[in-house]
Chains A and B, each alone.
Chain A
């Protein structure tokens, strides 16, 4: 931290931090020095020349934005000469500026024109010349329009793109008075721009304006500006949502607040259209004569309650199960799991985390004690070395990726390990491309290198690993079998590359790992993460700041849903279902007899579906999930759902799953909710109601409470979400200290045990959260896949996500903007395979696996290895899960979405 210094501005003594930006300091202390090119999030530019000041001992005029504060500095911020200069500069700017203003954007320039008395043309010393300057308008982007006649060439957009987002897509073209902003070679639409809109947010004059709702928005007619959390991925970006007539018209990133500090991605900024979509469910539906027909809430709720009670009586407690939702709030999920445990009387509650990071969580809990990322998002910028493995982080966690790109600009080493090329490779020092499902071999090979080069951290192993060097010796014995030759043979990664990567990681002063679905969604998912953890542990790259392992979460509240107990094996706060003492404590808080709480773990997501398929589960309650698209082996899923006696689906839209529902209940969207979520770095963040509910839609938790009441189940009475949260705090000690009041502005990271606890930015600094307080090494062997390629199915299919769509695309495909960027399914195939199987670029192909088939478009690309193909799974018309299998990882029960044998046929 810099020391405090005193400076004097216009006679007033001000204390500031040494090297702080003078303009910033002056403004914070009430000196309203004008300036248009400066922005606190950007490096100073000194282009607009409005923030001129005088500094004693310095000749001439100085731009305050370019000065760092020094002790004893004497500054004149306002005098006649400075004000005259500023006025003159403004009149210059005004001369090249098109003043038309349509009230659709916030203009920082106009107030200055009034302030400096330049509103009337007669008052202006300089005549307009903008009409004579070539005007460039670029309207090719789906999200924005650029108009050079309104541009003051302040560099803010260029720097927003480069310094904040790390993309560098924008530049000036030409020079002098004619220069203007370009993306790519002059057309935004065909450039590398991915539509995040950071440039729009930072443009001070409306030269870059948003396209969506351009004809509706009027910034003087905004009804509400509400800060809430982004509904998409698990970064937890804080967004300010603007509404007009109960319609969202704009979303901005909230400046100065973690985790995103104003940054957003294209989904967060432009993906909100679903909230006001006409297809939203507006009233309860009951299936009558095979058709879903509108019903009253009372009708629907009574039917649901009666049916659930009937099934429980007829088949027993084990015949019911529920899917909770990573898209719903903590409060919704908490009430849902409470409902299952009390109303169904079992622990059959799970949700899609089982399909994404169950294996990661399983391995981390066993080895480290907590099933969450060990670091803060900010550490992605400051760590010295980062391994990103099986995670297309630029597309799936775009804002987390901005931290990485900024780290890169400061010299961070980046190692990408992925069977498929991802955009982060452009920033990477090393790119290792192993064959699908060979990760354990690769990681064991890297540990082999680390051990051979004596790069283990003995002190760490002795002090912080259970069994110390003895445990290490066991691991060593195993990994030493993974000789470079063998590893190269299994993985296809050249020895030189993985050796370099291992050394880079092991020798970095601090190093972090980001792991993703590529690691977890395999039948060996848990082993994959064990191998990663082993590498962390023998090198001591965990348990310190900027060291650790992080699984960025895919949905806005995957983290929170498990935190608050939406799990068949854990109560809220990661306390095992089997823990009797805890059940007693919880029973007391819930005010129910202890005996009513089932001590046996429930079924996991895929086990529930299997049980339904087998006829064991008869009734199901699905809240905010779409298993027909998201679960593996689609045919199996559909058969299971059809096999149910009674299915309730609670959602905001019709989905592929509501097609099989007996009752459909309309819920409120995230924009219509209060509550909280937990993001990937364990930060509890607020949700705030932006819109009034659509039609008769109700908050999820209220629906659940109403059903419980009709089932005569005492689930509690809550006035609002905060009351639920305060109960969660009692049940889950890791969340105890976090109150709504404390997170009004900034989120707090759990564990946070009491109201004075600051929260925890880095886990395991003192001890691991295991019973011994030490981490555990689990040596793991490489295993071959049970599913093997054959003459019939010669290729292996990998699946994944893309930037512009989201999960089953129920939300994202409602957005014209996102669809404009990407709305069609495709399959990537290596050029060699394209020749081999006579596949043509951009032509339709049939993809078949032993389980099903689909039609999509082939794209020939060397992003994938020969023998492997890749498909995004967002598109219901080409459902990837028609091809995947429901085999499970034995420990975590996750399915191998990343490995299905297929064949391709041109059609």
Chain B
């Protein structure tokens, strides 16, 4: 395990209470904004691209590319928006909450820089309704920023103005999907929109919209401050930088850990978390949450990075690492996940609306025979190819991986 990496999302959170703006400033907060305002938009985007930052929401799309799409999507725009996706609903994931509660200004700083780069003047932070504490912390941070002129008109005496509002979700996993989140932000039911157009072209109120995950925004100040080289040397070939891992289960230590991309599961469990709790043995892990993949012990030494996991048919997703021990009934866990999909399906498209119910019901059968398993995999394959949005496309991940590695 590499110990020589800087903290990015959680930089200095161990040193002081960074929810206080004085402390954030004390540690050099907002210096990235000052620097950015002296750069051209293209220079900023270029640095983000060169840093190799990929979206931390789960899909891993190159952030710089997204920014340049949004920047150039129209010549004359009525308005552009920056939206921070803090609708962290992926089961087993709690890193965004952690950043919001511990390092709120870094997120805001990242949003301001991104807004400046793409030419947006209005931003929203879409926080799920259950995150009461995070909502309060972020709101206080935003208020402080206005007080210190880091938000509002003419930020840092520049010509650039930017406003941020918080939007509060109300209990919908699907709203974490970017276009669904935008629908929700418009005060509607959370239905996924047809893609294309992508948000970069037509997002909020049909205007170009840059939408990134909390963690992604929190990486931007570092890249600007320390340079893209400093960032790009962390991690693996295709997965740069650090990643927040949300480790849960019967381990000696659980929580959010910022680590370089490419750390192995074994290192995570035994070095970082101190191993399993007394009486519990590692049996499996669920990586990436419900829309993630089950892995068995054969994965312990696979580096946790986008490309390495993909090679083995698994995902890193949001960074959820649920460690499952021998005491857990695996099949019940699968049922639990399928019930989750059923509950969260918006019902817009047929394969997902009906499929999530069908597979849940079938999985509840007392004894799953090979025919049942084949049938379940078939349905999830059909769903993944025919569904409108990632929700219906996801059950294949846990279902297929489950039956690949485990017998029931």
Binding site for B on A (CB under 8 A): 44-49, 52, 60-61, 63, 66, 85, 88-89, 92-93, 95-96, 126, 129, 152-153, 155, 171-172, 175-179
Question: Is B194 in the interface zone, CB < 8 Å from A?
Answer: yes
Decide: A175 and B346 in contact? CB cutoff 8 A: yes
How many Å lie between the Cα of A45 and that of B342 in the bound state?
A: 21
Decide: B355 and A44 in contact? CB cutoff 8 A: no
Q: List 11 A-B contacts (CB under 8 A).
A: A48-B350, A63-B194, A85-B382, A92-B354, A129-B358, A171-B189, A175-B347, A176-B343, A176-B346, A176-B347, A179-B347
Please indicate the chain A residues that have their CB under 8 angstroms from the CB of B346 in the complex: 175-176, 179
How many Å lie between the Cα of A175 and that of B349 in the bound state?
A: 11
Please indicate the chain A residues that have their CB under 8 angstroms from the CB of B382 in the complex: 85, 88
Given known pairs A46-B194, A66-B194, the reply for A177 and B349 (CB within 8 Å) is no
CB distance from B376 to the nearest CB of A (A): 13
Decide: A92 and B385 in contact? CB cutoff 8 A: no
Question: Is B345 in the interface zone, CB < 8 Å from A?
Answer: yes
Q: Of A129, A153, A172, which contacts B357 at CB under 8 A?
A: A129
How many Å lie between the Cα of A66 and that of B389 in the bound state?
A: 14
Please indicate the chain B residues that have their CB under 8 angstroms from the CB of A155 in the complex: 348
In the complex, which residue of chain A has the Cβ closest to the Cβ of B352?
A176
Question: Is B344 in the interface zone, CB < 8 Å from A?
Answer: yes
Decide: A95 and B358 in contact? CB cutoff 8 A: yes
| Inter-chain pairs besides A92-B354, A129-B358, 20 sampled, C-beta below 8 Å | A46-B388, A47-B350, A48-B349, A49-B351, A49-B387, A52-B386, A61-B385, A96-B353, A96-B354, A129-B357, A155-B348, A172-B189, A175-B172, A175-B345, A175-B347, A176-B343, A176-B345, A176-B356, A178-B347, A179-B353
Given known pairs A126-B358, A176-B347, A177-B347, the reply for A153 and B385 (CB within 8 Å) is no
How many Å lie between the Cα of A171 and that of B348 in the bound state?
A: 12
How many Å lie between the Cα of A44 and that of B348 in the bound state?
A: 13
Decide: B347 and A49 in contact? CB cutoff 8 A: no
CB distance from A127 to the nearest CB of B (A): 9
How many Å lie between the Cα of A490 and that of B8 in the bound state?
A: 69
How many Å lie between the Cα of A815 and that of B354 in the bound state?
A: 41
How many Å lie between the Cα of A177 and that of B353 in the bound state?
A: 5
Residue with the greatest number of chain A CB neighbours at <10 A, chosen from B342, B347, B361, B387 = B347
Residue with the greatest number of chain B CB neighbours at <10 A, chosen from A48, A92, A129 = A92
CB distance from B9 to the nearest CB of A (A): 32
Please indicate the chain A residues that have their CB under 8 angstroms from the CB of B350 in the complex: 47-49, 89, 92-93, 152
CB distance from A880 to the nearest CB of B (A): 42
How many Å lie between the Cα of A178 and that of B353 in the bound state?
A: 9
How many Å lie between the Cα of A46 and that of B386 in the bound state?
A: 10
Please indicate the chain B residues that have their CB under 8 angstroms from the CB of A46 in the complex: 194, 349, 388
How many Å lie between the Cα of A360 and that of B329 in the bound state?
A: 81
Please indicate the chain B residues that have their CB under 8 angstroms from the CB of A175 in the complex: 172, 189, 345-347
Question: Contact flags (1/0) for B164-202 with A, using CB distance below 8 Å?
Answer: 000000001000000000000000010000100000000
Decide: B361 and A129 in contact? CB cutoff 8 A: yes
Please indicate the chain A residues that have their CB under 8 angstroms from the CB of B354 in the complex: 92-93, 95-96, 126, 129, 177
Decide: A49 and B388 in contact? CB cutoff 8 A: yes
Please indicate the chain A residues that have their CB under 8 angstroms from the CB of B347 in the complex: 153, 172, 175-179
Please indicate the chain B residues that have their CB under 8 angstroms from the CB of A52 in the complex: 386
CB distance from A98 to the nearest CB of B (A): 14
CB distance from B391 to the nearest CB of A (A): 10
How many Å lie between the Cα of A88 and that of B347 in the bound state?
A: 17
Decide: A92 and B189 in contact? CB cutoff 8 A: no
Decide: A92 and B388 in contact? CB cutoff 8 A: no
CB distance from B35 to the nearest CB of A (A): 39
Please indicate the chain A residues that have their CB under 8 angstroms from the CB of B357 in the complex: 129, 176-177
How many Å lie between the Cα of A176 and that of B385 in the bound state?
A: 19
Decide: B386 and A177 in contact? CB cutoff 8 A: no
In the complex, which residue of chain A has the Cβ closest to the Cβ of B342?
A176
How many Å lie between the Cα of A153 and that of B346 in the bound state?
A: 11
Q: Of B343, B345, B388, which contacts A47 at CB under 8 A?
A: B388
Decide: B385 and A60 in contact? CB cutoff 8 A: yes
Please indicate the chain B residues that have their CB under 8 angstroms from the CB of A176 in the complex: 342-347, 353, 356-357
How many Å lie between the Cα of A95 and that of B351 in the bound state?
A: 12
In the complex, which residue of chain B has the Cβ closest to the Cβ of A95?
B354
Decide: A49 and B194 in contact? CB cutoff 8 A: no
How many Å lie between the Cα of A44 and that of B388 in the bound state?
A: 13
Please indicate the chain B residues that have their CB under 8 angstroms from the CB of A172 in the complex: 189, 347
Decide: A177 and B189 in contact? CB cutoff 8 A: no
Please indicate the chain A residues that have their CB under 8 angstroms from the CB of B356 in the complex: 176-177
Given known pairs A171-B189, A179-B347, the reply for A44 and B194 (CB within 8 Å) is yes
Question: 7 shortest A-B CB distances, which residue pairs?
Answer: A92-B354, A176-B345, A179-B347, A176-B347, A66-B194, A177-B357, A46-B194
How many Å lie between the Cα of A175 and that of B355 in the bound state?
A: 14
CB distance from A118 to the nearest CB of B (A): 14
CB distance from A125 to the nearest CB of B (A): 9
How many Å lie between the Cα of A790 and that of B357 in the bound state?
A: 72
Given known pairs A92-B355, A129-B358, A153-B353, the reply for A47 and B386 (CB within 8 Å) is no
Residue with the greatest number of chain B CB neighbours at <10 A, chosen from A49, A126, A152, A153 = A49
In the complex, which residue of chain B has the Cβ closest to the Cβ of A126?
B358
Question: Contact flags (1/0) for B367-399 with A, using CB distance below 8 Å?
Answer: 000000000000000100111100000000000
Please indicate the chain A residues that have their CB under 8 angstroms from the CB of B172 in the complex: 175
In the complex, which residue of chain B has the Cβ closest to the Cβ of A93?
B350
CB distance from A607 to the nearest CB of B (A): 57
CB distance from B54 to the nearest CB of A (A): 20
How many Å lie between the Cα of A152 and that of B342 in the bound state?
A: 17
CB distance from A783 to the nearest CB of B (A): 46
How many Å lie between the Cα of A559 and that of B343 in the bound state?
A: 57
Please indicate the chain A residues that have their CB under 8 angstroms from the CB of B349 in the complex: 46-49
Residue with the greatest number of chain B CB neighbours at <10 A, chosen from A47, A177, A179 = A177
How many Å lie between the Cα of A96 and that of B353 in the bound state?
A: 10
Please indicate the chain B residues that have their CB under 8 angstroms from the CB of A88 in the complex: 382, 386
Q: Of A63, A95, A177, which contacts B345 at CB under 8 A?
A: A177
In the complex, which residue of chain B has the Cβ closest to the Cβ of A46?
B194
Please indicate the chain A residues that have their CB under 8 angstroms from the CB of B194 in the complex: 44-46, 63, 66
How many Å lie between the Cα of A126 and that of B354 in the bound state?
A: 10
Please indicate the chain B residues that have their CB under 8 angstroms from the CB of A152 in the complex: 350
Decide: A89 and B345 in contact? CB cutoff 8 A: no
In the complex, which residue of chain B has the Cβ closest to the Cβ of A94?
B354
Please indicate the chain B residues that have their CB under 8 angstroms from the CB of A96 in the complex: 353-354
How many Å lie between the Cα of A786 and that of B304 in the bound state?
A: 89
Q: B235-271: which residues lie under 8 A (CB-CB) from chain A?
A: none
CB distance from A840 to the nearest CB of B (A): 39
Please indicate the chain B residues that have their CB under 8 angstroms from the CB of A61 in the complex: 385-386
Decide: B345 and A92 in contact? CB cutoff 8 A: no
Please indicate the chain A residues that have their CB under 8 angstroms from the CB of B361 in the complex: 129
How many Å lie between the Cα of A14 and that of B29 in the bound state?
A: 60
How many Å lie between the Cα of A178 and that of B343 in the bound state?
A: 10
Please indicate the chain B residues that have their CB under 8 angstroms from the CB of A126 in the complex: 354, 358
How many Å lie between the Cα of A847 and that of B11 in the bound state?
A: 79
How many Å lie between the Cα of A595 and that of B278 in the bound state?
A: 120
CB distance from B202 to the nearest CB of A (A): 13
How many Å lie between the Cα of A371 and that of B349 in the bound state?
A: 52
CB distance from A469 to the nearest CB of B (A): 37
In the complex, which residue of chain B has the Cβ closest to the Cβ of A36?
B350
Please indicate the chain A residues that have their CB under 8 angstroms from the CB of B355 in the complex: 92
Q: Of A47, A85, A93, which contacts B385 at CB under 8 A?
A: A85
In the complex, which residue of chain A has the Cβ closest to the Cβ of B341?
A176
How many Å lie between the Cα of A479 and that of B386 in the bound state?
A: 66
Please indicate the chain B residues that have their CB under 8 angstroms from the CB of A49 in the complex: 349-351, 386-388
In the complex, which residue of chain B has the Cβ closest to the Cβ of A52?
B386
Question: Contact flags (1/0) for B321-353 with A, using CB distance below 8 Å?
Answer: 000000000000000000000111111111101
Please indicate the chain A residues that have their CB under 8 angstroms from the CB of B189 in the complex: 171-172, 175
How many Å lie between the Cα of A89 and that of B382 in the bound state?
A: 9
CB distance from A175 to the nearest CB of B (A): 5
Please indicate the chain A residues that have their CB under 8 angstroms from the CB of B387 in the complex: 49
How many Å lie between the Cα of A176 and that of B344 in the bound state?
A: 7
CB distance from A8 to the nearest CB of B (A): 21
